[in-house]
């Protein structure tokens, strides 16, 4: 419900839903799920500092929630032009995916492909970018495909990205 509300840009309604339904979440998942959903709302509304604070409160006990929160954090670093923390996060997230025993194999592949694609985009070799974009479009299992394609476009066209990192 939260993801749908965010995609529809129904931010006020989504925020109300998150707060109104917090107590309905099982106690053992409540705080992490609440923090995750609220951090995603804050990401969508460009409140990156608030989103990051909530993400940092999420415990690693739920591998899927942890993985989803790492994706949001990658997006925040990208949107904030914070390349060094982003590269560090991609590396640590990749190691987490290799070591974690709780996350299902298909989900590991889903997030590993995301990390690999984002890393390839950040290497910024203009000659290889069309191939990287094509790979993102055609790979079966990848997290946040549309966002990765938007990131590729931003790297190509955003003057701040080009000036700061190319």
Strand, coil or helix: 23 = helix
Q: What is the pTM of this model?
A: 0.90
φ, ψ of residue 142 to 5 degrees: the values are: -155, 140
Q: What is the pLDDT of residues 74-108, one digit of tens each?
A: 999 999 999 999 999 999 999 999 998 888 878 99
Identify whether the C-beta of residue 72 lies closer than 8 Å to the C-beta of residue 51.
yes
How far does CA 60 lie from the centroid of its chain? 16
Identify whether the C-beta of residue 25 lies closer than 8 Å to the C-beta of residue 33.
yes
Which structure tokens are listed for 68?
């989803």
Q: What is the pLDDT of residues 96-152, one digit of tens each?
A: 999 988 888 789 999 999 999 999 998 877 778 889 999 999 999 999 999 999 999
User: Helix H segments across the chain?
Assistant: 2-7, 11-20, 27-44, 48-55, 63-79, 83-99, 105-123, 129-138, 145-157, 159-165
The 10 Å CB-count burial string (b at 16+, else e) for 1-28 is ebeebbeeeeeeebbebbeeeeeeeeee
Predicted confidence band of residue 27 (pLDDT cuts 50, 70, 90)? very high
Residue 116 is given by DSSP the state H
What distance in Å separates the CA atoms of residue 102 and residue 166, rounded to the nearest whole number? 38
- Please name the residues in contact with 111: beta carbons below 8 A apart, sequence gap of 6 or more: 67, 70, 71, 93, 97, 103, 143
Identify whether the C-beta of residue 70 lies closer than 8 Å to the C-beta of residue 89.
yes
């Amino acid at each position: 419900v939260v993801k749908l509300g965010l995609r529809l840009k129904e931010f006020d309604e989504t925020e109300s839903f998150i707060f109104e339904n917090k107590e309905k979440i099982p106690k053992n998942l409540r705080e992490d799920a609440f923090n995750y959903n609220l951090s995603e709302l804050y990401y969508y509304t460009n409140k990156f500092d608030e989103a990051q604070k909530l993400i940092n409160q999420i415990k690693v006990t739920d591998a899927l929630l942890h993985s989803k929160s790492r994706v949001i954090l990658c997006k925040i670093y990208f949107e904030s032009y914070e390349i060094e923390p982003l590269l560090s996060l991609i590396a640590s997230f990749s190691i987490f995916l290799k070591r974690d025993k709780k996350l299902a194999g298909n989900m590991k592949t889903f997030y590993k492909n995301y990390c690999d694609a984002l890393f390839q985009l950040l290497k910024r070799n203009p000659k290889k970018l069309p191939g990287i974009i094509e790979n993102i479009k055609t790979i079966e299992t990848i997290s946040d495909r549309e966002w990765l394609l938007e990131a590729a476009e931003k790297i190509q066209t955003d003057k701040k990205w080009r000036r700061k990192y190319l």
